[in-house]
Amino acid sequence: MNLKLVYVSVLMFGVAGLLLFMYLQAWIEEQYTESGEKLHQQAIHQVFRVISTEELERITKTWITAEHLGISNKALKDSTHSQEDGSPFLGMPASLIPGLSEEPQKITLLLQPLKQVVVPPAMNKTFISDNSWKTMGETQEKRKSFLQNFCRKHVVSENRPQIHLVRMVSRIYVEDKHKLLYCEVPKAGCSNWKRVLIVLSGLAKSAANITHNAVHYGKHLKKLDSYDLKGIHMRLKTYTKVIFVRDPMERLVSAFRDKFEHPNSYYHPVFGKAIIKKYRLNAGREALTAGSGVTFKEFVKYLLDSHRPVGMDTHWEQINKLCYPCFINYDFIGKFETLEEDANYFLRLIGAPEGLVFPNFKDRHATDKRTNSEVVQQYLAEIPDKERQQTYDFYYLDYLMFNYTVPYAQP
Ligand SMILES: *[C@@H]1O[C@H](CO)[C@@H](O)[C@H](O)[C@H]1NC(C)=O
Ligand SMILES: *[C@@H]1O[C@H](CO)[C@@H](O)[C@H](O)[C@H]1NC(C)=O
Ligand SMILES: *[C@@H]1O[C@H](CO)[C@@H](O)[C@H](O)[C@H]1NC(C)=O
C-alpha cells in the first residue's frame, strides 16, 4: 500500500465520521425539542383554565394580552423586566388605556379556549363537618371562584401564548412528602411558610429553630423550576398548590420599610444608591455613596418610572407576575390578613402533623409596628394624589384578582 492511499483512506474515514456525528447531533436535538415541546404543551393545557368560545366572542373591549402578565416571548428570553412606557401593565402603551382608573372594567385579557382540566386537590375534606372549618371551606370556594371568574372574564389571549412554563413556576417551592407547591409572595408570610415547608419535609423538628438566614439562604427547599418538564408537569397536576396574598399597598409599604428603613447590605447599595441619584435633588455625598435613607416618596417615583434606573424586585413585584394565578390553578388561596387562621386550616387539610402550628415569628425588625392599614395611610400621605393613583393602578390586577378593594386617590 502506498503512502498516498493510506493518507486518503484516513481522510475519508475522518470525513465520514464527522458527517455521522453531525447527523446524530441534529437527530438527538430534534428528538429532544420535539418531546420537550409536547410535554410543554400538555403541561400548559393542564394548568390553563377554560374560556368558552361564546365568551371569547362577547369580548370586544380593550385587551390586555398575555404579555401584560409578563409572559411575552421577549420576556422569556431576557429575564430583565421591561416596563418602558410607564403604564401599569407591562408592555401596554399608556395611550391604549385611557381612563383606566375610572373604567377598570374595560380591562380584558384574551386567553385562547383550552380544554378544561379539573385537578382534584389532594386535600382531605372529610373532617369539615365541624362548623368552624366549614366556614373556612366556604371562604376558600368563594375566593377560588372569584379568581376564576376574574380570569375567565378578563384573561384571554388572542393567540396561543408562548408561555414558558419553567419561568411561570420559578417562584414555586416544592414539598414532595405532602405533595405541596407553595408559590412565594414576599411580604405575605413567606418566611414562616418556608419554615413550615422545612418542617413538613422532615428537615427540622420545629419551626422555632429555623433562623431567618437558614430559611432564605439555606438550600433546604427545592424550586419547581429545578425539575425537568415532566417533573414540573406531574407536580402541577397532582400536588396541592397554595398561594398566600396580601393587600397590595400593605405589601408595598411593608417591603419599603423592611428594605430601606433598616441597614441593608444589598438594597441600599443596589437600589438605594440608584434611587437617590435619580430622584433626589442636591443629594449629599454620603447618601450617594451609601444609598441609605431613601424616602417612600422617592421609592414610589422609582416604582412608577418607565425608565427605572434599576430593575424590579420580587418584594414589590406584582403577585400576578410572581405566581401567575390565572394560569396556575391554585387549590388554596390564603390571605395575609387572616394568615394564621388560613394557614392552620390548610395544614389540617393536608394532614400535617398534629403538633405543627403555623408560626407567627416576625424575625426581622421585631420591634417595628406591623404594617397595617393605619401605617399604610401614613406612608401614602407623603405621596401626591396623582402618583398615589398611579401606584394603585400599578397593582390593579392584584387588587382585582384577590378581591381587595381598589382605593382611589381622589374622592
Ligand atoms: C381524611 O381524614 C379523616 C379524618 O381525619 C381520616 O379518617 C381519613 O382516613 C382521611 N382520608 C384520607 C384519604 O386521607
Ligand atoms: C369580596 O370583598 C367584599 C368586600 O370586602 C366582600 O363583601 C365579598 O364577600 C368578597 N367576595 C368574595 C367572593 O370573596
Ligand atoms: C429547638 O429549640 C428549642 C428551644 O428553642 C430547644 O429546646 C430544642 O432543643 C431545639 N431543637 C433542635 C432540634 O435544635
34-45: average pLDDT:
47
Tens digits of residue pLDDT in 379-411 = 999 999 999 999 999 999 999 999 999 887 654
Supply the pLDDT for residue 401.
Answer: 94
Query: Ligand 2 centre and the CA of 335: distance in Å?
Result: 13
In whole angstroms, give the CA distance from residue 203 to residue 53. 48
Please indicate whether residue 126, judged by its CB atom, sits closer than 6 Å to ligand 1.
yes
Please indicate whether residue 139, judged by its CB atom, sits closer than 6 Å to ligand 2.
no
Residue from 142, 403, 404, 405 to probe ligand 2 pocket by mutation (most atoms less than 8 Å from CB): 403
In whole angstroms, give the CA distance from residue 218 to residue 212. 9
In whole angstroms, give the CA distance from residue 192 to residue 363. 9
Contact 316, 303 (CB under 8 A): yes
Q: Is residue 76 part of a domain?
A: yes
Helix (H) or strand (E) segment spanning residue 244 = strand 240-245
The string of DSSP codes covering 43-110 is: HHHHHPPP--HHHHHH--S--B-GGGGT--HHHHH--S----S--SSTT--GGGSTTTTT-GGG--B-
Q: Is residue 16 part of a domain?
A: no
Residue 262 backbone class (left: φ over 0; alpha: ψ -120 to 50; beta: rest): beta
Please indicate whether residue 206, judged by its CB atom, sits closer than 6 Å to ligand 3.
yes
Residue from 123, 125, 127, 348 to probe ligand 1 pocket by mutation (most atoms less than 8 Å from CB): 127
Contact 298, 272 (CB under 8 A): no
**Which residue's CA lies nearest to atom 3 of ligand 2?**
403
Supply the pLDDT for residue 388.
Answer: 94
In whole angstroms, give the CA distance from residue 100 to residue 393. 8
Q: Is residue 44 part of a domain?
A: no
Question: Which range marks the domain in which residue 150 is found?
Answer: 53-250+315-401
Residue 88 has pLDDT above 50, yes or no: no
Q: Is residue 183 part of a domain?
A: yes
Least confident of 166-180, 219-233, 355-369: 355-369
Tens digits of residue pLDDT in 321-359 = 999 998 899 999 999 999 999 999 999 888 888 889 999
Q: Give the count of domains, the chain.
A: 1
Supply the pLDDT for residue 114.
Answer: 28
**Residue 285, all three cell numbers:** 455625598
| pLDDT band, very low/low/confident/very high, at 15 (cuts 50, 70, 90) | confident
Give percent of the chain above pLDDT 70: 70
Nearest to 81 by CA among 299, 312, 290: 312
Q: Is residue 6 part of a domain?
A: no
**Residue 174, all three cell numbers:** 416544592
Supply the pLDDT for residue 45.
Answer: 40
Least confident of 83-97, 136-150, 176-190, 341-355: 83-97
Q: Is residue 149 part of a domain?
A: yes
Please indicate whether residue 61, judged by its CB atom, sits closer than 6 Å to ligand 3.
no
Please indicate whether residue 127, judged by its CB atom, sits closer than 6 Å to ligand 1.
yes
Single-letter amino acid, residue 136: M
**Which residue's CA lies nearest to atom 6 of ligand 2?**
403
Supply the pLDDT for residue 28.
Answer: 58
Residue 12 has pLDDT above 80, yes or no: yes
Residue 116 has pLDDT above 50, yes or no: no
Tens digits of residue pLDDT in 245-269 = 999 999 999 999 999 999 999 999 9
In whole angstroms, give the CA distance from residue 108 to residue 160. 16
Residue from 125, 126, 240 to probe ligand 1 pocket by mutation (most atoms less than 8 Å from CB): 126
Supply the pLDDT for residue 213.
Answer: 80
Please indicate whether residue 141, judged by its CB atom, sits closer than 6 Å to ligand 2.
no
Supply the pLDDT for residue 96.
Answer: 30
Q: Is residue 304 part of a domain?
A: no
Please indicate whether residue 406, judged by its CB atom, sits closer than 6 Å to ligand 2.
no
Please indicate whether residue 211, judged by its CB atom, sits closer than 6 Å to ligand 3.
no
Q: Is residue 319 part of a domain?
A: yes
**Which residue's CA lies nearest to atom 14 of ligand 3?**
209
Mean residue pLDDT across the chain: 76
Supply the pLDDT for residue 251.
Answer: 97
With a CB cutoff of 8 Å and minimum separation 6, the contacts of 32 are none
Tens digits of residue pLDDT in 305-326 = 999 999 999 999 999 999 999 8
